[in-house]
Amino acid sequence: MLPILIVFVYLAAVLYIGIFAFRHRGGREDAEQYFLAGRAVGPYVFLTSLFGTHMTAFAVLGSAGHAFGNGIVTFGLMASSTALVTPVCLLLAGTRMWALGRRHGFLTPVQMFRDRWECGHIGTVIFAVQAALLVPYIVIGVMGGGTALRAISNGTIPYWVGCAVVALVVMGYVFFGGMKGTALVNAVQTTMFLLVGTTAFFVIGQGMGGFGDVFAGMLENPMEAALLTRERVPPRYFFSYMFIPLSAIAFPHMIIFCLTAKRMTHFRNTAIAYPLCLTIIWLPSTLLGVAANHATDVPAIQQKLEARAALAAPAPDLTADERHALRRQADGEDVVIQLLHHYAPIWLAGLLGAGIMAAVMSSDSQILALSTMFTEDVFTHYDGRMRFGEASQVRLGRAFVVLVTAVAYVVALRVPADIFSLATQYGFSGYAALSPLVFAALFWRRSTKWGALAVTLWSAGAVAAIAWFQAAVPAPPAGSVKVIWSVAGLDLLTRTPGGTAVLGFAPVMPMVLVSVALMAVVSLLTRPPSEATIARYHAPARAASGPGPSPDGTALGV
Partner 1 sequence: MQESLKRPVMAAVAVTAAFFLHQDYWFWTVPRPLLFGVLPPGLWYHVLYALGCAGLMWWLARMVWPSHLED
Is the separation of the CB atoms in 401 and 175 below 8 Å? yes
Measured distance CA(516)–CA(427) in Å, rounded: 19
Is the separation of the CB atoms in 538 and 445 below 8 Å? yes
Residue 270 has a CB neighbour count (10 Å cut-off) of: 24
50 binds partner 1 (CB under 8 A): no
Minimum distance of partner 1 from residue 435's CB (angstroms): 15
Count the residues of the shown chain that bind partner 1, applying the rule CB under 8 A.
Answer: 49
**Only segment of 88-96, 388-396, 461-469, 472-480 that touches partner 1 (CB under 8 A):** 88-96
263 binds partner 1 (CB under 8 A): yes
25 binds partner 1 (CB under 8 A): no
Q: DSSP 3-state assignment of 493?
A: strand
> How remote is the C-alpha of 150 from its chain's centroid?
22
Q: DSSP 3-state assignment of 55?
A: coil
Share of the chain residues as helix, strand and coil, in percent rounded to the nearest 5: 75, 5, 20
**Only segment of 149-157, 271-279, 354-362, 412-420 that touches partner 1 (CB under 8 A):** 271-279
Please compute, for residue 90, the number of CA atoms within 13 A of its CA located in the half-sphere on the CB side. Answer: 31
Measured distance CA(400)–CA(164) in Å, rounded: 17
81 binds partner 1 (CB under 8 A): yes
Sequence-distant (≥ 6) Cβ neighbours of residue 190 within 8 angstroms: 48, 49, 51, 52, 55, 277, 358
CA-to-CA dists, residue 16 to 145, 148, 179, 336, angstroms: 19, 21, 15, 28
User: Which listed residue (18, 52, 87, 350) binds partner 1 by CB under 8 A?
Assistant: 87
Is the separation of the CB atoms in 365 and 21 below 8 Å? no
178 binds partner 1 (CB under 8 A): no
Minimum distance of partner 1 from residue 308's CB (angstroms): 19
199 binds partner 1 (CB under 8 A): no
- Considering only residues 278-317, where is the footprint of partner 1 by CB under 8 A? 278-279, 283, 286-287
Please compute, for residue 58, the number of CA atoms within 13 A of its CA located in the half-sphere on the CB side. Answer: 24
User: Which listed residue (38, 42, 43, 76) binds partner 1 by CB under 8 A?
Assistant: 76
- Considering only residues 217-246, where is the footprint of partner 1 by CB under 8 A? 219, 225-226, 228-231, 235, 238-239, 242
343 binds partner 1 (CB under 8 A): no
**Only segment of 28-36, 90-98, 138-146, 459-467 that touches partner 1 (CB under 8 A):** 90-98
Measured distance CA(348)–CA(497) in Å, rounded: 37
By beta-carbon proximity to partner 1, the closer residue of 38 and 217 is 217
User: Which listed residue (207, 275, 497, 548) binds partner 1 by CB under 8 A?
Assistant: 275
Q: DSSP 3-state assignment of 501?
A: strand
User: Which listed residue (95, 130, 363, 459) binds partner 1 by CB under 8 A?
Assistant: 95
- Considering only residues 97-136, where is the footprint of partner 1 by CB under 8 A? 98-99
Provide the binding-site residues for partner 1, judged by CB under 8 A. Answer: 72-73, 75-76, 79-81, 83-84, 87-88, 91, 95-96, 98-99, 211-212, 215-216, 219, 225-226, 228-231, 235, 238-239, 242, 263-265, 268, 271-276, 278-279, 283, 286-287, 556-558
